[in-house]
Structure 1
């Protein structure tokens, strides 16, 4: 092991300025035996670093390299496994437990003892040694002899001291004089001893000779001590004299301090008196303004405002607790409190009268029959001069301020409720009047058409002769319905019915937009007035991003919301009534209301998302969305309950046409709208309901084939979606096109069938024989499929018979399709293509199975094209 240690020191540790102290050959416990070395090493530089290094032998030869290194200070535990008997196993706990097996117990014990000594010599912490014999746990004797405590770092000792120049010279001379001393050390030592004795004797004689000088020195010292005593007594007398002077000066200084303190107190007292007099003095003019000032004139309001501010300053003066004990101060404060209460009551009484007067009056504008809200600019101008006084009252008497706010809200709410109700009643009347006028024109036109047709006799001006009450059939009136507008009429009546709906909706949209345009500025003007008049500091949305909302501002915002809710308590209810009226007139009015209200809500939210207007319009928008959803649900229900006409052609079903009208109207309304999420959701619901209803209606169709019903309606739906270009229905548009194509193909196949049945049957047999393994050119040798049989079958289908069959097919197909969708020619062309495909298939079979026979059908493709073309042109 000594050779290994030397090799490791030379090859591994010396290049790194380290010194290896002990080495043990080990391998990992429980694994395949692969020898490596654990070494305890220290650095050669100060401070010393101690580490445990794992060394392994390189496969290329007798070379070693470090595999792992741990610092000794990271070692937490050394486990010797067993302290009573010899064992080669031990564990080292660093970041984890490493289990080792040494080559023998002696090496293991030496390594553990080395770790013990290094721990006590270099580390400030104690490593736990578990299951290790006491004989191993000993500290080096050198450490104990030098009284180096365990864990204390040993400092390097400097024992060598360099000789001075004189000492070097003396040593050299001594050596030159005693060259023989090198050979005879004892003689040299004796000579040095003799010379030392001579020098000691000389030193003693010199000391004895200097005794007289020492005695003289002692006498001089005694004289000096006497002089020192004399000086000390003189200094003591001087000190007594200075002490008496100091006492006198202290008395003078104390007197001066008392004089200065008295003067300072006098000045301070004068300053305090001046401060109190100046700060707590309210002029006679201000007192008169507070007690008798005229609150009805602008000059009086200005004087009262200045007096109230002066009173606030006097009452807000910062006073020392000692000031409050002065009787004059107490009397002055009582006087201020009395003035405050007196003026507060006068101000509250005056403003209450103004609130009551304004609550019983009307605003400017908004005459009878006009669709406009009265403006309150004059009322606001009359009250705004009192804003500063309201601010003073808010600070000095919050309860009276709150009472004034309640009175204002109660009185103005009655006025606004009356004005808003009259305003919205006028709006409803405008809507109903417009509906009646349009209905009257439509009804008279219908009567004229019916009279002209001979259905009625007598004067057309007498509507009672028609047997119908014009108002009883009006949409939105009791007993009203839209049966009249949707009943079978002449073309003129149908156009007028459609015009009636569009005109009614347009009139309602204008009235509704005018209502919002009138209502918003009134609410905003009142909110602005309340903020100024009641001194409410409310942060806008922009300021909220940069300013932290304080408690005071939150309270002001709550007060403003409460006042606005009380003043305009009727707004939401009256708007809901107007919306209900519009929805009863026509469910599609909810589209106009949804667009308009969404725009106004978005505008209000941008200005202030927490304002009363934004909240109220948002609540109304929720009601509009509910009405809109209810209308969409009604359309879905109508689609589910739709029936195919029992007589005549199915044509385009009513709910498909209804969706087309709805989508066209919706796209026109939402053309410039910024938000159309609700409409896109409605589109998705309706188109899904249409797909389901089409399949259901097609199955219930009594006369028109299912494929025709689906083909025509899917084609109409595809054309509608392509024309309107609705982005959210792009997938449904493609699905409609795909369904149309599939049902067109299915109808063509089912309608055409087998136009040449015997020929079809013959060639089906040929294909069966070929599938059974008969070669194509040998099929003609089968008795049932010989050339003679084929010619016999072909003779049964001359061109004349084929054309006759196609004419019958055209008449059959023509009965299934409606004229409005114009799909008959498309279907006829598809039938032509399918017939030609079957013809070409027969020709291919003849060419493959009867080669060189010269057999062919009695009509050609050109003949078929001529048949199809002439039949289409003749109809």
Structure 2
């Protein structure tokens, strides 16, 4: 109501040379939807005219407008309806009866009291007051325009007092300044009247009710708090009245200023002591429910504490504007106490999270991932996590996951469940911290008034000259800094606890860093959308750096372990563990990073890992003694190509094509080299023939070469009858079977490629015989049909 009163004075009555003394919010009896205000006013020009003015909001609701006015001298009767009971209804009898319902009985009584005083002061014709409590109607005082008029908040009119010596001296001084003070007494009196208007009415006069509220008002009840808020605002307005030059020397002004200063200091001390006690007691009640929250991995909600404290927000703003030292002291007290409370809650919360997280990997449950690939074994140092040994299904699992030990991951449903459980625990931790921090930051901004510019009425702690008003940007910057400093202090343990939890998760399983990177990135993204400079955004951003570092360390660790792999000289290699490990890693990562904000980090990791896989497959192939190099390359790059084709990882499209190229090249190389064994002499003979032709010998003249005449050709062909060819092919099949691993199932692919290559060679040999030995009638001992039957029967027999 105070704000409305000042707005009406400024916008409606001051331009009309009127002063607003009392106001009541009313609606017409029986029509409670359309509210308006009845205002009691007096003119500032002489002779004084007293009016009741009806004011209502415009149709658009963006400003107030004057709708109707009645002269007080036309008022015949005021009917308050009931003098003994509270009743908001009252009637005003002008030329007709206007029936009103006030928004509260208190407002009605204050307005009627003001009308009575104005009637006693200014009108010879007395208004009839019916059903009005005698407490509202004071003793009649002499009427006259020189008397001051009390406002709606006044309890009584001031009695006439003679001037004291100091006031006489002040008036004499003013008379000396005014040259016309003696010659034109009427003009001087008029000037004097205008100069003293600042002391008239409600400008520098605080009601007894406000004084009582400031001195001993109840700061623990909603009604008492509201009364103290109204009183403190009224006090601030009185202290900030703009005095004209010379007015500050008047004794009455000095006395009022002294009273205001004492009231301000008294109330500031009471408010500070009370809020200190509220911090302690509210916090104690809050911490009593801590145990039940931590067991459920939830943090206590502080909304009850915030709700109770926010009732004092306006008083905190008043303290900030009047007693900045006490405001700062309360801020420090709140921060110190809440730091201890939150530190206890957060520590217990994270302890429960760690216990639940550690429970995902029970000690001694064994190695769920055998560090093996196919039927082979990789040997190395068993004492080091980085020098892993492939020992078969009985191998113990390293505490930290790697691409090497993920070869059998899909068979371990228990481990997948563990990782899923870890992901849920980590998400629960972040989901609990996020609203906690946002709620506390929102409360701090509102309670300590750090979300808006200071009011124009902000004054120094001595109640004197208004403080300097910094530019808006400076205010905004300093306020955000204050909020951030308070939040950093209150939640100083969060970043430490989060990093500790992350370290534990990484220690349990290094692949947890994938989950943590996705979850933390999402929460950072969410926090930055709300407020990029908030405590939550900054803190989670710092922790995200740690998570990203762990993720990079995890990838580097996998690459390092690939580089340190050594193969057994006694076993065939098969599909290398880090090749199947990459497949499992990619499957896991694609699931975790689906629609994730940090997809780019995974793509970079993919490229690093796949290049390392390529390089180390080549390394193992070159070092292999039991398994041919072509087989190692063919099988592993076939597996890589199949994996990438199935997962469709767009950033690895180049590597997918490269893997296919390497696979086909080494398949062809292996087939050609292997087929040279069952027809070794025949191959050697025709290689010699081709060499002579390449040297310039004409094809039809090759048969004249001693080493390659018809007789020598018949001799070589005779050594490879159909029976011997089939026997050689059968041995070849057995050898290929020993070279290849069962997991990749490439035996039939290789055997079919060998058949195609054999047919190609057969046709090539026939062509050379026809061109180099024309008309000789020499043919192979077996036909293509025979050969197809050999390949088919051998495959079926095995």
TM-score normalised according to structure 2 size: 0.68
Cα distance change, pair 765–653 in 1 and its aligned pair in 2 (3 A): closer
Of 309, 313, 319, the match for 1:387: 313
Cα distance change, pair 267–523 in 1 and its aligned pair in 2 (3 A): same
Give CA-to-partner distance per residue, 1:326-347, whole Å, 9 cap, x none. Answer: 3332332222222212211111
Cα distance change, pair 652–264 in 1 and its aligned pair in 2 (3 A): farther
Match of 2:235 in 1: 311
**Tell me, what secondary structure is at the counterpart of 1:749?**
helix
1: CA distance between counterparts of 2:361 and 2:210?
66
Asked if the contact 1:583–1:589 (Cα under 8 Å) also holds between the matched residues in 2, the reply is: yes
Give CA-to-partner distance per residue, 1:50-90, whole Å, 9 cap, x none. Answer: xxxxxxxxxxxxxxxxxxxxxxxxxxxxxxxxxxxxxxxxx
Cα distance change, pair 526–486 in 1 and its aligned pair in 2 (3 A): closer
2: CA distance between counterparts of 1:801 and 1:764?
21
Give CA-to-partner distance per residue, 1:327-375, whole Å, 9 cap, x none. Answer: 3323322222222122111111111111122333435576052211111
Of 257, 261, 268, the match for 1:333: 257
1:702 Cα offset (Å): 2.9
Of 515, 518, 524, the match for 2:429: 515
Residue correspondence of structure 1 range 104-253 to structure 2 within 5 A: none
1:494 Cα offset (Å): 7.0
Match of 2:325 in 1: 399
2: CA distance between counterparts of 1:486 and 1:286?
72
Residue correspondence of structure 1 range 343-742 to structure 2 within 5 A: 343-363=267-287, 367=292, 369-436=295-362, 482-483=397-398, 498-537=412-451, 550-742=473-665
Aligned residues: 571
2: CA distance between counterparts of 1:793 and 1:436?
69
1: CA distance between counterparts of 2:247 and 2:420?
76
Of 651, 668, 671, the match for 1:745: 668
Asked if the contact 2:210–2:228 (Cα under 8 Å) also holds between the matched residues in 1, the reply is: yes
1:497 Cα offset (Å): 7.4
Kindly name which structure, 1 or 2, has the bigger radius of gyration based on alpha carbons: 1
Give CA-to-partner distance per residue, 1:681-714, whole Å, 9 cap, x none. Answer: 1111111111111111222223111221121111
**Tell me, what secondary structure is at the counterpart of 1:570?**
helix
**Tell me, what secondary structure is at the counterpart of 2:570?**
coil
Cα distance change, pair 263–851 in 1 and its aligned pair in 2 (3 A): farther
Give CA-to-partner distance per residue, 1:571-627, whole Å, 9 cap, x none. Answer: 111111111111111111111111111111111111111111111111111111111
Asked if the contact 1:707–1:747 (Cα under 8 Å) also holds between the matched residues in 2, the reply is: yes
Cα distance change, pair 419–484 in 1 and its aligned pair in 2 (3 A): closer
Deviates more, 1:839-848 or 1:330-339: 330-339
Match of 2:767 in 1: 844
1:772 Cα offset (Å): 4.2
2:194 corresponds to 1:271? yes
2:776 corresponds to 1:853? yes
Cα distance change, pair 652–855 in 1 and its aligned pair in 2 (3 A): same
1:310 Cα offset (Å): 0.7
Deviates more, 1:493-502 or 1:326-335: 493-502
**Tell me, what secondary structure is at the counterpart of 2:312?**
helix
After superposition, the CA RMSD in angstroms is 2.8
Structure 1 gaps of 5+ residues are 1-255, 447-479, 488-492, 540-547
Of 778, 784, 795, the match for 2:718: 795
Match of 2:117 in 1: none
Cα distance change, pair 482–321 in 1 and its aligned pair in 2 (3 A): farther
1: CA distance between counterparts of 2:574 and 2:706?
51
Asked if the contact 1:538–1:557 (Cα under 8 Å) also holds between the matched residues in 2, the reply is: no
Cα distance change, pair 496–854 in 1 and its aligned pair in 2 (3 A): closer
Asked if the contact 1:365–1:372 (Cα under 8 Å) also holds between the matched residues in 2, the reply is: no
1:754 Cα offset (Å): 5.6
Cα distance change, pair 785–735 in 1 and its aligned pair in 2 (3 A): closer
1:495 Cα offset (Å): 8.0
Give CA-to-partner distance per residue, 1:497-543, whole Å, 9 cap, x none. Answer: 7223212111111111111222212222212211221112169xxxx
Cα distance change, pair 385–611 in 1 and its aligned pair in 2 (3 A): same
**Tell me, what secondary structure is at the counterpart of 1:605?**
helix
Of 795, 805, 815, the match for 2:738: 815
2: CA distance between counterparts of 1:595 and 1:400?
45
Asked if the contact 1:485–1:494 (Cα under 8 Å) also holds between the matched residues in 2, the reply is: no
Cα distance change, pair 496–768 in 1 and its aligned pair in 2 (3 A): closer
TM-score normalised according to structure 1 size: 0.62
Give CA-to-partner distance per residue, 1:827-873, whole Å, 9 cap, x none. Answer: 12222222222211111111112222222111111211111111111
Cα distance change, pair 261–696 in 1 and its aligned pair in 2 (3 A): farther
Asked if the contact 2:360–2:418 (Cα under 8 Å) also holds between the matched residues in 1, the reply is: yes
1: CA distance between counterparts of 2:594 and 2:640?
21
Give CA-to-partner distance per residue, 1:716-771, whole Å, 9 cap, x none. Answer: 11111111111111111111111111221222222223643333343334334434
**Tell me, what secondary structure is at the counterpart of 1:844?**
helix
2: CA distance between counterparts of 1:575 and 1:563?
19
2:212 corresponds to 1:298? no
Residue correspondence of structure 1 range 759-838 to structure 2 within 5 A: 759-838=682-761
2: CA distance between counterparts of 1:752 and 1:675?
50
Deviates more, 1:530-539 or 1:856-865: 530-539
Match of 1:191 in 2: none
Asked if the contact 1:695–1:710 (Cα under 8 Å) also holds between the matched residues in 2, the reply is: yes
2: CA distance between counterparts of 1:644 and 1:549?
70
1:415 Cα offset (Å): 0.7
**Tell me, what secondary structure is at the counterpart of 1:436?**
coil
Greater fraction helix: 1
Give CA-to-partner distance per residue, 1:471-509, whole Å, 9 cap, x none. Answer: xxxxxxxxx98349999xxxxx97897223212111111
Cα distance change, pair 833–396 in 1 and its aligned pair in 2 (3 A): same
2: CA distance between counterparts of 1:537 and 1:325?
39
**Tell me, what secondary structure is at the counterpart of 2:566?**
coil
1:636 Cα offset (Å): 1.0
Give CA-to-partner distance per residue, 1:287-340, whole Å, 9 cap, x none. Answer: 221122221222221111111101110111112342233333233222222221
Structure 2 gaps of 5+ residues are 1-178, 371-394, 454-470
